[in-house]
Amino acid sequence: MRKLFSILAFATLPLLAAEKPAPPADLTAPPADAERSENGLITKKLVAGTGTEHLADDGFASIRYTVWKSDGTLVQHLEAPQSVILAKSKMLPGWGAAVQQMVVGETRRAWIPPALGAGKIKEGETFVIDTELLELIPNPMHPPADVAAAPLDAKMTPSGLAYKVLRPGTGTVHPKRSQNVVVHYTGWTTDGKMFDSSILRGEPAQLNLMDVIKGWTEGLTLMVEGEKTRFWIPARLAYLRQKGPQGMLVFDVELVKIVQK
């Protein structure tokens, strides 16, 4: 099991982008129109979102973010198109509360005091975090409603692989069978049991299309970068007698990146 990425330790992580954004002008002086909570959390909406739902207590969020200390020190910055998927439980308490105020497409600035920093923010210091909420992701432990069988609007390939695009991609190129790809995924058996998930591990997986089950090899060659698709993989395209769950399997797969050699 890979180590979960934890925002509780981000103060020790290296910066993830070469460009270092300047701290905001209101770093130490939140504006008068910022929203203030009784627990000391202060937030301000920078960009309005397009969604309507909010992050559930046990849900996951795909986000981009930048973190500064109140003295102007840049702690961490994820530059587009980079993003991470985090559970609310892995965020600093104040940050998680701020993200729960957001909807998809929104960017919000949060001023987090030590009392909401889980011991990671020193007394007299504040963390200021700009967050862009890209997507809300259900807890992988909760299977999709159509996990038992492919719905009528799913497409079927001649091999028997059924699939449904959950989110269109932004790329135009399909991976070749010999290529490596970076993916996020969750797998369930048709009775709803989750058996593997990169979401729970906190980081995507890199793999070669020749080293996975036949259903994955075929399915991923149909995708483009940024796409998220649900696959219903019949037993003959799954593990067969290999080590792994038997029978039809259901996977949600996001093609994060095609690795160019």
Q: Are residues 133 and 163 in the same domain?
A: no
**In the chain, what percentage of residues exceed pLDDT 90?**
81
First to last CA, the chain: 27
Asked if residue 77 is part of any domain, the answer here is: yes
Distance in angstroms (rounded) separating the CA atoms of residues 261 and 259: 6
**Residue 78: per-residue pLDDT:** 82
For residue 105, the enclosing domain spans 7-137
- DSSP letter at 203? S
**Residue 257: per-residue pLDDT:** 93
pTM, rounded to two decimals = 0.81
pLDDT tens digits, residue range 233-260?
999 999 987 678 899 999 999 999 999 8
Identify whether the C-beta of residue 67 lies closer than 8 Å to the C-beta of residue 75: yes
- Choosing from 96, 111, 137, the residue where a domain stops is 137
**Residue 260: per-residue pLDDT:** 80
Q: Are residues 161 and 255 in the same domain?
A: yes
Distance in angstroms (rounded) separating the CA atoms of residues 109 and 83: 17
Q: Are residues 162 and 99 in the same domain?
A: no
Q: Which residues of the chain have pLDDT under 50?
A: 1-18
Q: Are residues 12 and 118 in the same domain?
A: yes
Asked if residue 131 is part of any domain, the answer here is: yes
Asked if residue 149 is part of any domain, the answer here is: no
**Residue 1: per-residue pLDDT:** 27
| Strand ranges, E, within 168-227 | 180-189, 194-197, 205-208
Asked if residue 165 is part of any domain, the answer here is: yes
Asked if residue 97 is part of any domain, the answer here is: yes
Q: Are residues 100 and 51 in the same domain?
A: yes
Looking at the DSSP assignment, which residues form a beta bridge with residue 109? 44, 130
Q: Are residues 184 and 132 in the same domain?
A: no
Q: Are residues 132 and 45 in the same domain?
A: yes
- Choosing from 87, 110, 137, the residue where a domain stops is 137
Q: Are residues 107 and 219 in the same domain?
A: no
Task: List the structure tokens of 38.
Answer: 């009784």
Tell me which residue of 233, 83, 235, 252 sits closest to 165, measured CA to CA. 252
**Residue 91: per-residue pLDDT:** 93
Asked if residue 150 is part of any domain, the answer here is: no
Q: Are residues 100 and 171 in the same domain?
A: no
The total number of structural domains in the chain stands at 2
What CATH code is carried by the domain that includes residue 233? Answer: 3.10.50.40
- Choosing from 137, 166, 194, the residue where a domain stops is 137
Q: Are residues 182 and 214 in the same domain?
A: yes
Asked if residue 63 is part of any domain, the answer here is: yes
Q: Are residues 129 and 181 in the same domain?
A: no
Residue 8 backbone dihedrals phi, psi, to 5 degrees = -65, -15
Q: Are residues 66 and 132 in the same domain?
A: yes
Tell me which residue of 170, 166, 144 sits closest to 83, measured CA to CA. 170
Asked if residue 2 is part of any domain, the answer here is: no
